[in-house]
Amino acid sequence: MLAKMPKVSSNQNSREKECTQRIYSIVDDVLRNKSYSNSEINQWSNVICETCMDFLYSKMLPQKYIISCYILKNTNTETSLKLSTYWDKGDKYLQIAWPNDIKNCNLLCYVNIYILKIAQAG
């Protein structure tokens, strides 16, 4: 079964859209058809973060990346993840929420990616 692609913001460039779609697919490959398990959360999070980093490092421009992965049990309650950043215009932030259809899944996953440009020596 193919993963439904995430909603992509209209102000993302093509590289950011590709990144968002690939990260969503990575999460889907790891968590699809899984049931919540406290004993497996760390392993799933590690696989997601490492696979995302491998993708970013191999496909994107040389930059610095920070990746965080939150896997939660879907209890049909509201979830709120907030962040605040102060950085250069060239830095980026992406958040990928999985799955698109939370009603039919017992897991929720949020992957946050900070893409920081490397400062030029000068």
Q: Please state the domain extents for the chain.
A: 14-116
Distances (CA, A) of 81 to 15, 33, 68, 84, 117: 25, 24, 12, 11, 24
Tell which phi-psi region holds residue 69, choosing left (phi > 0), alpha (psi between -120 and 50) or beta.
beta
> Whole-number mean pLDDT of the chain?
86
CB distance 111 to 71 below 8 Å: no
pLDDT tens, residue by residue, 7-58: 545 566 888 899 999 999 999 999 999 999 999 999 999 999 999 999 998 8
Q: Specify whether domain 14-116 bears CATH 3.30.1140.40.
A: yes
Put simply, whether the predicted model's pTM sits higher than 0.75 gets the answer: yes
Instruction: List, for residues 58-115, the tens digit of each pLDDT value.
Output: 887 778 999 999 999 988 877 787 878 888 888 989 999 999 887 778 899 999 999 9
Contact 92/16 with Cβ under 8 angstroms?
yes
Task: State how far Cα 4 lies from the chain centre.
Answer: 15
